[in-house]
């Protein structure tokens, strides 16, 4: 008998991870409603990518529990792990495209390596994924010949070709200028609605994350300091939330004070 669908596709509790003597995650929780876009925010170096890799099984947590569709994912539950891998895709920060393969070959790779689908169906599904992301005219082109935005779309085509229910995005806008950054967030929002997958993305781009996400989580000091809607995040008086959320406004105030010749509090004698 199939278990009833749970409200939360992902339910993460108390995930901890340290590297040597350095604790990165100290008990992080996250609830991801089915069919939603959840953004995990945080300063650089706070462990956002480590947290995402723990969710994906790329990194093994030291402690905690991760449930996918109600089933615990751990080393002793091989069938749950295998099911998770079939139903989840991971979009790497660097895209992780293979330069020696064409666009079509890159997209076909997950089907070739993880399924028993016949070659003719692999080709058709790969071409369809390229068509859906408006890349079918570039099927025989290698990634290095594509623009940065097209490479992002190609990486997403490869991620969705297996028809996943969950897509994990690791800093999808890292290193991009503001226009390309906006395009990537628009791409996530557009195709998440088109294909209906659940998305978890880690980022430090606050305005864009607030625009595209259904829920926001803030990772701070190894734990989720905040979880809630974008509106709740915008209203929160939590000091960690305010410090991260309002950093741009604080910088503008500081620069304005310097231009007026005022002494900053940090410059006053103790």
Handedness of CA 77, 79, 80, 84 (dihedral sign): positive
Residue 267, in any domain of the structure: no
Query: Reduced to 3 states, what is the DSSP secondary structure of residue 201?
Result: strand
Whole-Å CA distances, 5 to 8, 29, 56: 8, 20, 20
* Residue 67 and residue 73 in contact, taking contact as beta carbons nearer than 8 Å: yes
Q: Please give the Cα distance from 167 to 189 (Å, whole number).
A: 12
Q: Please give the Cα distance from 123 to 136 (Å, whole number).
A: 12
* Residue 161 and residue 125 in contact, taking contact as beta carbons nearer than 8 Å: yes
> With 80 as the cut, is the pLDDT of residue 261 above it?
no
- pLDDT for position 29: 97
Residue 269, in any domain of the structure: no
* DSSP label of 142: -
The model's pLDDT over 117-154, given as tens digits with 9 standing for 90+, comes to 899 999 999 999 998 888 999 999 999 999 888 898 89
- pLDDT for position 2: 44
Q: What domain range is 65 assigned to?
A: 8-262
Residue 165, in any domain of the structure: yes
Residue 155, in any domain of the structure: yes
pLDDT band, residue 24 (cuts 50/70/90): very high
Find the CATH number of the domain harbouring 215: 3.40.50.300
- pLDDT for position 250: 59
Residue 270, in any domain of the structure: no
Whole-prediction pTM: 0.83
Residue 268, in any domain of the structure: no
Residue 255, in any domain of the structure: yes
Task: State the total domains in the chain.
Answer: 1
> With 50 as the cut, is the pLDDT of residue 1 above it?
no
Residue 1, in any domain of the structure: no
User: Dihedral (C-alpha) 247, 92, 167, 180: value to the nearest 10 degrees?
Assistant: 60
């Amino acid at each position: 008998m199939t278990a009833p669908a749970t409200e939360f596709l992902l339910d993460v509790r108390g995930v901890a991870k340290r590297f040597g003597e350095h604790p990165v995650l100290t008990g992080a929780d996250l609830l991801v409603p089915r069919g939603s876009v959840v953004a995990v925010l945080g300063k650089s170096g706070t462990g956002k990518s480590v947290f995402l890799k723990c969710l994906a099984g790329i990194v093994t947590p030291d402690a905690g529990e991760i449930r996918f569709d109600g089933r615990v994912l751990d080393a002793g539950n091989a069938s749950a792990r295998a099911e998770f891998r079939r139903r989840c895709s991971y979009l790497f920060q660097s895209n992780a495209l293979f330069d020696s393969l064409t666009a079509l070959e890159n997209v076909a790779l997950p089907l070739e390596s993880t399924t028993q689908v016949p070659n003719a169906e692999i080709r058709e599904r790969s071409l369809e994924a390229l068509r859906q992301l408006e890349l079918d005219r570039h099927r025989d082109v290698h990634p290095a010949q594509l623009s940065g935005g097209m490479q992002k779309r190609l990486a997403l085509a490869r991620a969705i070709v297996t028809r996943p229910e969950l897509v994990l995005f690791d800093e999808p806008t890292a290193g991009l200028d503001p226009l390309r950054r906006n395009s990537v967030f628009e791409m996530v929002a557009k195709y998440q609605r088109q294909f209906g997958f659940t998305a978890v993305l880690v980022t430090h781009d606050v305005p864009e994350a607030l625009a595209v996400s259904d829920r926001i989580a803030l990772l701070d000091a190894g734990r989720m300091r905040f979880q809630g809607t974008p509106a709740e995040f915008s209203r929160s008086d939590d000091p960690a939330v305010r410090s991260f959320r309002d950093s741009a406004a604080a910088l503008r105030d500081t620069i304005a004070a310097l231009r007026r010749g005022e002494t900053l509090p940090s410059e006053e004698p103790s």
